[in-house]
Structure 1
Amino acid sequence: MWVYHARRLFSDAPVHFDAAVRILVPQIAENQHAFPVTIDARALGTVQRILLFADLNPIPLAIDYTPGPLAQPFVATRIKLDQRTPVRAAVQTGDGVWHVAGEWVDAAGGGCSAPPVSRVKGDWADHLGELHGRAWPGADDTRLRIAVRHPMDTGLVENIPAYNLETLTIADAGGAVLTRMAMHGSVAEDPVFTLLLKGHQSAYAVTARDTSGLEFKGIIPGEGVSSPRTPS
């Protein structure tokens, strides 16, 4: 599927397989419903976009991350895997070149075609949009972790239509956008994202929007204090 995905995602842009892109994954998916992936492209310098995709998933593309000028090219999250597949990171630099790295991952399968836990329990609507996060300021950067309660339905389970978060935006306390991300149903249920933002902010305003047009908003304090679970 590489040729197909490369043509669809990169069009005629140049593509290089590059060890400067680090993709950190377990070799075996212990839980195909929530498989951890970390992408670190800081060695490339300024980056325009980061794509995370799995070649053989029915929904290959998981996230399309656009780091703003105050964001490091780093992202960690969890995705679903439907079978043994390459999991890849593609990073576009300012010159338009795509830098790609990937790993083969063994998976039992069914991550995209099984109902989420919250659907089985029946309590998904009670917690829809609850947002929790925390910021850890470092010497030069801030590590920001964001979790949003959402079933992230793929549409591949009988009688459950596709329904997922589609955008995540982070702004500073004054409303200036720091970074944004588009996502798809192959991101794991109750998405969790870890990002690195340059410098320190007094607060981070998080807005998530789903495919039904619902928006969920919350404020994460910038001083290492956990935010309350605040859907809106």
Structure 2
Amino acid sequence: MTHPLPLARRRWLAGALCLLATAPALAADAFEGDPYQSHPWSDMRREFLGAGEVVWDARVQVSGPAFAEDPMNVPVSVSVDGLTGIERIVILVDRNPIRKVLEYQPLAALPRVSFRFKLEQASPVRAAVRTADGRWHVGGTWVDSSGGGCTVSGATRKDGSWSRTLGTVSSRVFERSEAAGSASGAADTIALDAGSRIRVRVMHPMDTGLVAGVPAFYLSKLTLRDGADRELLRLQPFEPVSENPVFSFDFPVRPAGPLRLVGVDNNGNRIDSRIE
């Protein structure tokens, strides 16, 4: 003679069977479709991208070195082709102590940007592109590294020269007939098929605040303006951007000059420089 299981026991078994049946689905969704299967990604998506739909999109191209020889100066280039209604581009690094690296609004520029950043350890490097429909299109690359880029003082901080050059801007405009390398150097040199590339360098220590005795000190806003004082692009760098950053921007046609780079750092120091 068999005895029926107590009600509580039956409920426990039913719940256990339900969990077993859904375990493969839960495991498959643990990384929310992330091709890098990065554990920080789900929290990053909620913190930086909010509730918008996220799609993995091959049209968002992120280029970087396979191995970062200098973790304080890791070159990265982002290029978006075939997407319209782009509102902003956010650069994220999963395994950095400060994960948001840069936010870019192209406005009158093309959705392309190149620069260098600090990398604390091997990590996915991502570009999340928000379009007018509220959707985020995400692409990325993996960069290996020996690490330590975010927790070491830069050269100008160590020798004290940063105070003499703070806020100094240098620039160059490349015509479409020229070969214009990105901020990552000659290895990424391309021939522009149309328009112009503008490259700017701003002298600033870009301290992360993760070095003992050195508070966070970094450029917090940059805008490029044309001769009529219209904004051509907006840039929000954050602490992980490299010391004395170099940024490269592409335009479909050469903007009407004279151009000005205007900005501020998190201590209120202002930048206003004419680009010849």
Residue of 213, 220, 228 corresponding to 1:166 = 220
Letter in structure 1 aligned against 2:147? G
1:116 aligns with 2:154: yes
SS at match of 1:4: helix
For 2:60, the equivalent position in structure 1 comes to 21
Give the Cα separation in 1 of the matches to 2:103 and 2:141: 18
For 1:80, the equivalent position in structure 2 comes to 118
Residue of 166, 185, 207 corresponding to 2:262 = 207
**How much does 1:142 deviate?**
1.5
**How much does 1:46 deviate?**
3.3
For 2:51, the equivalent position in structure 1 comes to 12
More divergent stretch after superposition (39-48 vs 181-190): 39-48
TM-score (norm 2): 0.78
Question: Where does structure 2 lack aligned partners over 5 or more consecutive residues?
Answer: 1-39, 177-192
Are the counterparts in 2 of residues 150 and 189 from structure 1 also a CA contact under 8 Å?
yes
More divergent stretch after superposition (152-161 vs 45-54): 45-54
SS at match of 2:157: helix
Give the Cα separation in 2 of the matches to 1:8 and 1:197: 31
For 1:228, the equivalent position in structure 2 comes to none
Give the Cα separation in 1 of the matches to 2:156 and 2:163: 9
Determine which structure has the larger strand proportion and give its number: 1
The structure that has the greater radius of gyration is: 2
Q: How does 1:120-139 map to 2 (within 5 A)?
A: 120-138=158-176
Equivalenced residues, count: 220
Are the counterparts in 2 of residues 141 and 199 from structure 1 also a CA contact under 8 Å?
yes
Are the counterparts in 2 of residues 207 and 217 from structure 1 also a CA contact under 8 Å?
yes
Letter in structure 1 aligned against 2:45? A
**How much does 1:208 deviate?**
2.2
Query: Which one has more relative contact order, counting CA pairs under 8 Å at least 6 apart?
Result: 1
Letter in structure 1 aligned against 2:128? A
Give the Cα separation in 2 of the matches to 1:77 and 1:123: 22
| Runs of 4 or more above 4 Å deviation | none
Residue of 84, 92, 98 corresponding to 1:45 = 84
For 1:99, the equivalent position in structure 2 comes to 137
TM-score (norm 1): 0.92
For 2:234, the equivalent position in structure 1 comes to 180
Letter in structure 1 aligned against 2:121? Q
Deviation per CA, 1:45-82: give whole Å up to 9, x if none.
Answer: 331100111001011111110111x2110000100000
Give the Cα separation in 1 of the matches to 2:80 and 2:273: 28
- Say what the alpha-carbon RMSD is for the aligned residues: 1.1
1:36 aligns with 2:36: no
1:197 aligns with 2:235: no
For 1:227, the equivalent position in structure 2 comes to none
Give the Cα separation in 2 of the matches to 1:137 and 1:206: 19
Are the counterparts in 2 of residues 42 and 72 from structure 1 also a CA contact under 8 Å?
no
Give the Cα separation in 1 of the matches to 2:228 and 2:169: 20
**How much does 1:132 deviate?**
0.4
For 2:36, the equivalent position in structure 1 comes to none
Give the Cα separation in 1 of the matches to 2:246 and 2:264: 15
The percentage of counterpart residues that share the same residue type is: 36
Give the Cα separation in 2 of the matches to 1:12 and 1:196: 30
Question: Where does structure 1 lack aligned partners over 5 or more consecutive residues?
Answer: 222-232
1:146 aligns with 2:200: yes
Determine which structure has the larger helix proportion and give its number: 2
For 1:156, the equivalent position in structure 2 comes to 210
Give the Cα separation in 2 of the matches to 1:213 and 1:179: 20
Deviation per CA, 1:78-119: give whole Å up to 9, x if none.
Answer: 000001111111111121111101122111111000001101
SS at match of 1:199: coil
**How much does 1:199 deviate?**
1.6
